[in-house]
Amino acid sequence: MAGDKWIALRVAYIGWDYYGAVRQPDLPTIEESLAEALSDQGIEAKLKFTSRTDRGVSALDNVVTYRGALPNISRLNADLPKDIAVWGLIESDSRVKAIEKTYLYVVPMELDIERLLERLRETSLSPDLCKEGEAPRPSCDARTYRGFTLVLVTGRSFCWQMVRRLVGGAVGPMIGKRMDVAPAEGLTLLRTKLDRRWDERWDELHTHKLQFILKELEKRMWRWGTGLFLLDVIGGVISSGRLPSWSRGRTT
């Protein structure tokens, strides 16, 4: 019967102009835009994001699930704002579940990697890292890249602002600033790993608008000072669904 299936959408967006992924009254959010575009196809569904990204945080691989009818992805992308793209779809008899998320934070300067890893390790143990509930301690990779420092933070689940608190608490003392929460503009949800039943299975792929999102995010990143790092760092994610290999730095 139509509408009995679970639908999973792989979504990318530039979060700088939105108040987070999840709907908030009278404020622009990713959920609001996606729900409106689905409604134009007669699909009224309760959307669930595997990652509730904060205000200003971008994503290249968030996953949204709902139970209902199958959408027309080409029409959906045409109806969505230019800074939101649906680029993958799964239709399943059961809800698609995320088992791991990886965030990329870009620091617009080179830092000492060994010292940064030690600071990340210390900050990950802080009781102030998770302001609501509990989350398992994440693992971190770090490396310098063309004058910048890239930090990958991977975990099963995250509390509100957890990644930005981790980065801010680690980087702040290294640059002589108090930074309880790192700025949102430097953070992107890079990869959502799903249960093995679904992780490499996508019934539809629509990457044209995703390429546009990448280019637009690159342009905006010039304001952040990070230049042309994006295509090199995440090109492998688009083509293979896997993170590129990292040769320097890891803490668990």
The mean pLDDT value for 14-42 works out to 95
Choose the weakest-confidence range: 37-46, 154-163, 167-176, 242-251: 242-251
Using pLDDT thresholds of 50, 70 and 90, give the confidence band for residue 221. low
Nearest CA among 229, 220, 243 for reference residue 14: 220
Task: Record the tokens describing residue 180, joined without a space.
Answer: 């309880």
Is residue 245 predicted with pLDDT exceeding 90?
no
Query: Parallel, antiparallel, or unpaired for β 58-67 and 187-194?
Result: parallel
Going by pLDDT thresholds of 50, 70 and 90, the confidence category of residue 216 is confident
Domains of the chain: 6-98+195-219 (3.30.70.580), 99-191+226-240 (3.30.70.660)
Of residues 183 and 216, more confidence is placed in 183
In this predicted structure, what is the pLDDT of residue 72?
95
Is the dihedral angle over the CA atoms 51, 55, 61, 63 positive or is it negative? Answer: positive
> Which of 185, 125, 135 lies closest to 160, judged by CA?
135
Judge whether residue 3 has pLDDT over 80. no
Residue 241 has pLDDT above 70, yes or no: no
Q: For residues 182-218, b (16+ Cβ closer than 10 Å) or e, as one string? A: bebbbbbbbbbbbeeebbeebebebeebbeebbeebe
* 85-137 residue pLDDT tens: 999 899 998 888 899 999 989 888 899 999 999 999 999 888 878 877 677 88
